[in-house]
Amino acid sequence: MEVINAEFKGNWRPQAVAKHPELQSLYTATLERLRKEKDQIAGKKPKTVDATTAVLQDRIDHLQRENEDLKNKLAEIEGRLNRWRRNAAMNRIRISLLDEPLQENNRGRSDR
Confirm whether 108 is domain-assigned: no
Q: Examine the domain organization and report whether 59 and 39 are in the same domain.
A: no
Rounded to two decimals, what is the model's pTM?
0.43
Q: Examine the domain organization and report whether 76 and 35 are in the same domain.
A: no
Tell me the residue range of the domain where 80 lies: 50-99
Confirm whether 111 is domain-assigned: no
Read off the pLDDT band of 13 (50, 70, 90): confident
Q: Examine the domain organization and report whether 63 and 23 are in the same domain.
A: no
Residues 6+ apart with CB under 8 A from 41: none
Confirm whether 104 is domain-assigned: no
Q: Examine the domain organization and report whether 1 and 43 are in the same domain.
A: yes
Q: Examine the domain organization and report whether 59 and 82 are in the same domain.
A: yes
Task: Return d(Cα 67, Cα 72) in angstroms, integer.
Answer: 9
Confirm whether 72 is domain-assigned: yes
Higher-pLDDT residue of 6 and 96 is 96
Which candidate, 91, 90, 88, places its Cα nearest to that of 100?
Answer: 88
Alpha-carbon distances, residue 45 vs 16, 31, 39 (angstroms): 32, 17, 7
Q: Examine the domain organization and report whether 59 and 86 are in the same domain.
A: yes
Confirm whether 30 is domain-assigned: yes
Task: Return d(Cα 11, Cα 13) in angstroms, integer.
Answer: 7
Q: Examine the domain organization and report whether 54 and 38 are in the same domain.
A: no
pLDDT in tens, 36-81: 888 777 776 655 667 788 888 889 999 999 999 999 999 999 999 9
The number of domains in the chain is: 2
